[in-house]
Chains A and B, each alone.
Chain A
């Protein structure tokens, strides 16, 4: 009996904390308080070199803390509560289901390549094949919850939305193309354990191989928050280090340079090429993108810049341990071509090219 009371108290306390975090975001909305930093590049001219990062960081933290807190808490909750058995049960059933799960669920499953590569390999091995595997791989970093929320709050929800749609089309298209190439088919032949795949899905549904035990709510909430803290500890040190570097970009890179090189078709091409290798899974690319936008980069180039992340180098190296390099380079090339195409289209539609 007593243990039950303790559990109930713990659950209430945790729920209260989560409600406060959610409430803060809603309150800031109602009050129309900007969660994005408000300083402009020209504001920095009056500061000396050592004051620049201090003011820049302060600008971000004073406005952005609610958003960051909310993002990490939500990410923790989502990754804890999303039923992961779905992947095991349905991933190997059919190709179209595979694509749907690959694209639709990827954002809820991964924040780091630590879980991404195993799922990629699993999908590949169990019969959904290379197409859905690639779709999952490209969709996961492009649309994970942290990235989307920070992009939405710090830059704009328009670009966050466009980014999801563009990434979705790119991911499915790339998957479909790769699955039709001879290279892709070769990878499938080599890796699939086809004879058993139907059996696996069947067994998982029946619960003979997978029967996930759900712990009590208070334990789940606590572990969700713990995971949020874990994510923050992994990401925030690099994020703040990144902010210091970006502060110098915003303060000292001349506007003419950005306006000259990061606009028009050249801008899109340049942004898409440097966006990939520069990508670090630490949200810094969003902050840098925002600063460059402030300095005059076109929205078209910004989209290409943000879409560059699926083909970042560490990710490609990790994937190359599962499939050959030529397949990796092929999907990177297709994803890159898509990021340029969407950049151009977005530029034409919004008139910011």
Chain B
């Protein structure tokens, strides 16, 4: 069975180097997880948008939310870290 996980990468628009690095880590994690039968639906959100603020409050960018919960904030995660977080979410 294929499991779906929604991952939101929250950063500034236009993306700063740190937000780009975060997106890259998430993409890399997605690549690895696909092999394990987990498919990621990755979305890029603008930290300045009111929609993001009204859902999550004040965030320190870059941030990563998994299934609507912010798991990483204000730092660039590694691909392994994202992978671990997603695996833990599914447990």
B70 touches A212 (CB 8 A): yes
Interface residues contributed by chain B, number (CB under 8 Å): 31
Contact of A125 among B53, B70, B75 (CB under 8 A): B53
Contact of B73 among A91, A196, A210 (CB under 8 A): A210
Contact of B48 among A88, A117, A201, A227 (CB under 8 A): A117
A208 touches B69 (CB 8 A): yes
Contact of B71 among A87, A114, A213, A230 (CB under 8 A): A213
A94 an interface residue at 8 Å Cβ cutoff? no
Residue of A nearest to B48 (CB): A121
B41 an interface residue at 8 Å Cβ cutoff? no
B72 an interface residue at 8 Å Cβ cutoff? yes
Q: Closest approach, in angstroms, between the C-beta of A173 and any C-beta of chain B?
A: 23
Contact of A215 among B57, B69, B81 (CB under 8 A): B81
Contact of B76 among A203, A207, A223 (CB under 8 A): A223
Residue of A nearest to B73 (CB): A84
Q: Closest approach, in angstroms, between the C-beta of A227 and any C-beta of chain B?
A: 7
Binary contact track B45-69/A, C-beta < 8 Å → 1, others 0: 0011010011111111100000011
Binary contact track A82-122/B, C-beta < 8 Å → 1, others 0: 00110110011000000000000000010010110111011
Q: Closest approach, in angstroms, between the C-beta of A337 and any C-beta of chain B?
A: 29
A91 touches B75 (CB 8 A): no
Contact of A91 among B57, B61, B74 (CB under 8 A): B57
Chain B residues whose C-beta falls within 8 Å of the C-beta of A196 in the assembled complex: 54
Q: How far is the CA of A79 from the CA of B75 in the complex (A)?
A: 8
B58 touches A88 (CB 8 A): yes
A218-250 contacts to B (CB < 8 Å):
219, 223, 226-227, 230, 234
B4 an interface residue at 8 Å Cβ cutoff? no
Residue of B nearest to A208 (CB): B69
Chain A residues whose C-beta falls within 8 Å of the C-beta of B44 in the assembled complex: none
Q: Which residues of A contact B (CB under 8 A)?
A: 79-80, 84-85, 87-88, 91-92, 109, 112, 114-115, 117-119, 121-123, 125-126, 191, 193, 196, 200-201, 203-204, 207-213, 215, 219, 223, 226-227, 230, 234, 322
Q: What would 12 A/B residue contacts be, using CB atoms closer than 8 Å?
A: A84-B74, A87-B60, A88-B59, A118-B12, A118-B59, A119-B59, A121-B47, A125-B50, A204-B56, A210-B70, A212-B73, A219-B81
10 closest cross-chain pairs (CB), A and B: A122-B58, A200-B57, A84-B74, A114-B16, A118-B47, A125-B53, A210-B70, A84-B60, A193-B54, A88-B57
Q: Which residues of B contact A (CB under 8 A)?
A: 12, 16-18, 47-48, 50, 53-61, 68-78, 81, 84-85, 88
